Amino acid sequence: MEKKLAPRGEASLALNGRQVAIGDATNLLELARREGVYIPSFCYHSHLSVYGACRLCLVEVEGMGMVTSCTTSPRPDMVVRTMTDRLRQVRRHIVELMLAGHDRECTTCSKSGSCKLQQLAQDMGIEEVPGEHMPPPRRVDTSSPAIVRNMSKCVLCGDCVRVCREIQGIGVLDFAHRGPRMQVGPAFDKDLAEVDCVNCGQCCAVCPTGALSVRNHVDEVWRAINDPDSIVVVQLAPAVRVALAEEFGALTGEDQTGRIVAALRRVGFDHVFDTALAADLTAIEETHELMERMSQQGALPLFTSCCPAWVQYAEQYHPDLLPHLSTCRSPQQMFGALAKTYFAEKQGYDAKRIFVVSVMPCTAKKSEARRDEFSTDDVADVDVVVSTVEMARMIREAGLQLGELEPEAVDMPLGLATGAGVIFGATGGVTEAVLRTVAGLKGEASIHPDFEKVRGMEGVKEAEINIGGTPIRAAVVSGLKAAEALVQRIKAKQADYDVVEVMACPGGCVGGGGQPTSSVSGQAKRAKGLYRLDKQLQLRSPLDNPAVEKLYREWLGETGGPRAHQLLHTQYAPRRRIRGRSIRGILQGDEKKAVDVAVCVGTGCYLRGAYNVMERLVEESDRHGLTGRVNLSATFCLEQCDNGVAMMVDGKVIGGVTPDNVWDVLQEQLGTADRQ
């Protein structure tokens, strides 16, 4: 066999009889794919730790035998083969075993057509599955507003476990049990709604099958469209315009806004608007908030609040930081509030007839739209959120070919946006929009149209920029684990900033859990597409948007004023989870009268019903009006594991607590005469 030589002086190895340079490849799998040789794998992701569990990426190395290519470093003079008869048979058997333990209802699976297991079975020509019976179905977890967990479709690749732990730093998923009972899920097989999941959807993004998928809300949208009494309004998020067309074969990062708008009209939406206009509003309100805090020694740094997964993370893990969060609603929620007030009045519509649909790259937006503070008289500002992929399905269901449609413009008055609003979809975009607004207020917009220092796909970026004599120290972070590290530096006074932008998804919204599956390089191409669109727009600063100026003049009043605050701002509070319910605050009241109550949630007490005890405490405190006198928290191991649940009341440890007697115990400690 002819051997092709690598350039002289470079370390090389033989790959399928061809001499190739090793270069900077860290493992044989990366090296092979770089050379155009695709080795199948389930558990390998370039931005996650190497796991080597699926064994699909086996290769034969002379002198070593079969090895997993993802865990084997390339060395000079290695002889590597990737497609021997032995390898083909082993890989085929691995896939057959996966199929034998897999729910094979492929036609109704959300990942049908994009499932990696399905694709491998087709590529390997597998037409029969060993075993006569389907595996018994497992419980499907539909408790989350954003994510569906179906372990009957899990192949135990561990991608979701690692992305939740290594990228997001939360770790709500892990392996449990052994042998045929092994599965992935939260501790104690709890539902996702009962643990600290922030609905970022990154687990769905990396799941190769349909085990973790984005919750489908398409039917609700179709019902609204087909309801003659509803006026269905849709808003299109910035990151969607450079990703949705990928589902129809377009190049990654290619802007298809005009064709997407045309498709949305043909699907049946009555009005098509742009969330980027609300992003312009966010930049203006957030800038006002930042400048006010900087001039009046307010709580700094100011953390952005556009990302609902980050907001929920802060509420759960860093309630002490909530005064630092911007009170601005996200652009999605600003738009919803304006659609059902300003737009309704201008068009003469009954606000109750308006049905607002958001097309978002983000799964956490589904959860955000259901928050109590984003509704008026039990009517949500945003009625339904669908992901980029869900909207692509709707377009296909309507029989439309996106590439064949003539581009159309969005509707007015909520459709005009600037480049600053568009770049919200990439990490650093919110910060740059704020900086452009500051520059405009100081008369330097033409001098600083771009702020390159806050751009890029790095997890953390820092910059100090002087605008009109005012230095602004900014940090931009994406991925919650990176955010946690930055927060700890700030708390330790090792870092000092004026504004900090946090996006839960790596790369920002372009890498959201509701986007078509892509690599890190694909997300970078999407971000590049947004910045390219920004360059093409005539208006690039939020202050230059005439539609925004009109909104303030006719409806909102002054920036940061009472009307603007009512519609565009909100408040956040600490949240604790008890059996799926989000407890706002920790029952804080008058410190002089309050009693501190800590319930042990260690393993022994947990198994004896600690969470039921906590839930009963919350319910009874609310019912009897004692909320202000109880500071409830969880603790670990009060060394009273022999009977019942342990509880500490103002430093006194009490054992044998149950949901039935906990209220009597607390009443006795409070000294309340009336036991009711």
Taking the C-alpha atoms of residue 672 and residue 418, their distance in angstroms, rounded to an integer, is: 61
Which has more confidence, 111 or 281?
A: 281
Positions marked catalytic: 286, 289, 306, 326, 365, 368, 373, 509
**Is 576 within the bounds of a domain?**
no
What residues form DSSP beta bridges with 581?
A: 578
**Element (H or E) spanning 80, and its range?**
strand 79-81
User: Which of 214, 245, 266 represents a domain boundary (last residue)?
Assistant: 214
pLDDT over 80 (residue 47)? no
Q: Give backbone dihedrals phi and psi of 535, rounded to 5 degrees, phi first.
A: -65, -30
> What pLDDT is stored for residue 448 in this prediction?
59
Clarify whether residues 443 and 528 are in a common domain.
yes
Clarify whether residues 224 and 360 are in a common domain.
yes
> What pLDDT is stored for residue 575 in this prediction?
73
Which has more confidence, 119 or 362?
A: 362
> What pLDDT is stored for residue 583 in this prediction?
47
Handedness of CA 360, 363, 364, 368 (dihedral sign): positive
Clarify whether residues 434 and 505 are in a common domain.
yes
> What pLDDT is stored for residue 352 in this prediction?
92
**Is 1 within the bounds of a domain?**
no
Classified as helix, coil or strand, 641 is coil
pLDDT-based confidence at residue 3 (cuts at 50, 70, 90):
very low
| Number of H-type helices and E-type strands within the chain | 22, 26
**Cβ neighbours around 249 below 10 Å, total:** 9
pLDDT-based confidence at residue 432 (cuts at 50, 70, 90):
very high
Clarify whether residues 204 and 262 are in a common domain.
no
**Is 36 within the bounds of a domain?**
yes
What CATH number is given to the structural domain containing 590?
Answer: 3.40.30.10
pLDDT-based confidence at residue 375 (cuts at 50, 70, 90):
confident
Q: What is the pLDDT of residues 197-222, one digit of tens each?
A: 999 999 999 998 889 999 999 999 99
Taking the C-alpha atoms of residue 145 and residue 161, their distance in angstroms, rounded to an integer, is: 20
Clarify whether residues 209 and 223 are in a common domain.
no
Beta strands per DSSP E along 195-270: 212-214, 231-236
Clarify whether residues 350 and 451 are in a common domain.
yes
What CATH number is given to the structural domain containing 63?
Answer: 3.10.20.740
Q: Please report, rounded to a whole number, the percentage of residues in the chain having pLDDT higher than 70.
A: 92
pLDDT over 50 (residue 31)? yes
Clarify whether residues 484 and 613 are in a common domain.
no
User: Which of 30, 63, 83 represents a domain boundary (last residue)?
Assistant: 83
pLDDT over 80 (residue 9)? no
**Element (H or E) spanning 195, and its range?**
none
**Is 88 within the bounds of a domain?**
no
Q: Could you say which DSSP state residue 342 is in? A: I
Total structural domains within the chain: 4
Q: What is the pLDDT of residues 571-580, one digit of tens each?
A: 888 876 555 5
Q: What is the pLDDT of residues 475-499, one digit of tens each?
A: 999 999 999 999 999 999 999 999 9
pLDDT-based confidence at residue 100 (cuts at 50, 70, 90):
confident
> What pLDDT is stored for residue 161 in this prediction?
93
**Is 239 within the bounds of a domain?**
yes
> What pLDDT is stored for residue 592 in this prediction?
42
Clarify whether residues 431 and 453 are in a common domain.
yes
pLDDT-based confidence at residue 390 (cuts at 50, 70, 90):
very high
**Is 285 within the bounds of a domain?**
yes
Q: Could you say which DSSP state residue 10 is in? A: S
pLDDT over 70 (residue 673)? no
User: Which of 214, 235, 251 represents a domain boundary (last residue)?
Assistant: 214
> What pLDDT is stored for residue 130 in this prediction?
72
- In angstroms, what CA-CA distances link 585 with 94, 207, 299, 315, 571? 49, 34, 20, 9, 12
Taking the C-alpha atoms of residue 269 and residue 391, their distance in angstroms, rounded to an integer, is: 12
pLDDT over 80 (residue 135)? no
What is the average pLDDT across 404-415?
Answer: 92
Cα-based torsion angle of the residue sequence 356, 362, 364, 365 in order, rounded to the nearest 10 degrees: -20
What residues form DSSP beta bridges with 175?
A: 184
Which alpha helices (DSSP H) does 537-598 contain, by range? 546-551, 562-568
Which has more confidence, 334 or 641?
A: 334
Query: 515, 451, 520: which is closest to 479 by C-alpha?
Result: 520
What CATH number is given to the structural domain containing 190?
Answer: 3.30.70.20
Clarify whether residues 112 and 253 are in a common domain.
no
pLDDT-based confidence at residue 599 (cuts at 50, 70, 90):
confident
Burial class from Cβ neighbours inside 10 Å (0-12, 13-18, 19+) for residue 159 reads buried
Query: 521, 286, 517, 553: which is closest to 421 by C-alpha?
Result: 286
pLDDT over 60 (residue 585)? no
> What pLDDT is stored for residue 133 in this prediction?
65
> What pLDDT is stored for residue 138 in this prediction?
82
What CATH number is given to the structural domain containing 255?
Answer: 3.40.50.1780
Q: What is the pLDDT of residues 139-167, one digit of tens each?
A: 899 999 999 999 888 988 889 999 999 99
**Cβ neighbours around 71 below 10 Å, total:** 14
Q: Of 76-80, 117-121, 365-369, where does mean pLDDT reach its minimum?
A: 117-121
Range of the domain at 661: 586-670
Place of tokens 């730790």: 49
Query: In the chain, what are the helix, strand and coil shares in percent, each to the nearest 5?
Result: 40, 15, 40
User: In the predicted model, what is the mean pLDDT of the chain?
Assistant: 87
Taking the C-alpha atoms of residue 280 and residue 239, their distance in angstroms, rounded to an integer, is: 15
Taking the C-alpha atoms of residue 156 and residue 187, their distance in angstroms, rounded to an integer, is: 16
Which alpha helices (DSSP H) does 324-464 contain, by range? 331-338, 344-347, 364-368, 388-397, 419-422, 429-441
Which has more confidence, 104 or 581?
A: 104
Cα-based torsion angle of the residue sequence 340, 346, 352, 358 in order, rounded to the nearest 10 degrees: -40
Clarify whether residues 126 and 140 are in a common domain.
yes
What residues form DSSP beta bridges with 183?
A: 176
> What pLDDT is stored for residue 2 in this prediction?
44
What is the average pLDDT across 328-357?
Answer: 95
Which residues lie below 8 Å from residue 245, measured CB to CB, with a gap of 6+?
254, 256, 259, 260, 402, 403
**Is 247 within the bounds of a domain?**
yes
**Cβ neighbours around 219 below 10 Å, total:** 9
> What pLDDT is stored for residue 675 in this prediction?
38
> What pLDDT is stored for residue 336 in this prediction?
96
Rounded to two decimals, the pTM is 0.82
Joined together, the tokens standing for residue 336 give 């919803």
pLDDT over 80 (residue 582)? no
Clarify whether residues 171 and 262 are in a common domain.
no
pLDDT over 90 (residue 553)? yes
**Is 580 within the bounds of a domain?**
no
Classified as helix, coil or strand, 421 is helix
Query: 246, 316, 345, 338: which is closest to 551 by C-alpha?
Result: 338
pLDDT over 60 (residue 591)? no
Clarify whether residues 335 and 372 are in a common domain.
yes
CA angle centred on 122, ends 119 and 124, rounded to 5° = 110
Taking the C-alpha atoms of residue 543 and residue 83, their distance in angstroms, rounded to an integer, is: 59
